[in-house]
Structure 1
Amino acid sequence: MGRKKSWRDMSRGQRISVLASGVVNLALLVAAQRSIAKTPDAQIRGRKAVWRAVCFINLLGPLSYFIFGRRRDVV
């Protein structure tokens, strides 16, 4: 196994990729948490506390909330 790359060992492109993915992850987390706070309980599948915890799973948590956690009732 290779050793783990440190920040200094990364190329400029790799550093930018790491920072960009971190920003996207943080933005999705904040958006999901705000949505959970503002959405009524009846419009969320399951308990809000569970979705809040799930959202802290990198990238997959917020995406799963937006895809599966919100009810989209057809009027």
Structure 2
Amino acid sequence: MKARKQWSDLSSEQWSDLSSEQRIGIKLAGVLQFALAAAAWFDLAMRPARKVRGKKSLWAIVIGLNFVGPIAYFLRGRQ
């Protein structure tokens, strides 16, 4: 039986060490993250400033924060 890896060992794991399922999962997460951010930036660019809660420039930065930024924008940034 293969021993479980410790958290400190995970940082040295190479792409080639991952299973095909893990690689697919990482790729899908990356595509989803990019699509969410692109949709949020597009919406922000097209939406008038009066229909955005807060400064558009701040939201443009927040949207770049992984999954959290675009989701926060869609849930809280738009009026």
Q: Could you state the TM-score of these two structures normalised by the residue count of structure 2?
A: 0.87
> Which residue of the partner structure matches residue 60 of structure 1?
68
Q: Tell me the SS of whatever aligns to 2:9.
A: coil
Residues 45-70 of structure 1, C-alpha deviations (whole Å, 9 max, x = no match): 00000000000100000000000000
Q: Which amino acid aligns with 1:2?
A: D
CA RMSD of aligned residues (A): 0.7
Count, aligned residues = 71
Equivalence for 2:31: 23
Q: Which runs of 5+ in 1 are unaligned?
A: none
Find runs of 4+ consecutive structure 1 residues off by over 6 angstroms. none
- The answer to whether structure 1 residue 36 and structure 2 residue 44 are counterparts is yes
Q: Structure 1: how far apart are the matches of 2:25 and 2:39?
A: 21
In our comparison, the structure showing a higher alpha carbon Rg is 2
Structure 1's 3 and 65: CA in aligned 2 closer, same or farther, altered over 3 A?
Answer: closer
- SS at 2:23 equivalent: helix
| Distance in 2 of aligned mates of 1:11 and 1:26 | 23
Where structure 2 has 5 or more consecutive residues not aligned to the other structure, the ranges are: 1-7
Cα deviation, 1:22-67, whole Å, max 9, x if unaligned, reads 0000000100000000000110000000000000100000000000
Distance 1:6 1:63 in 2: 30
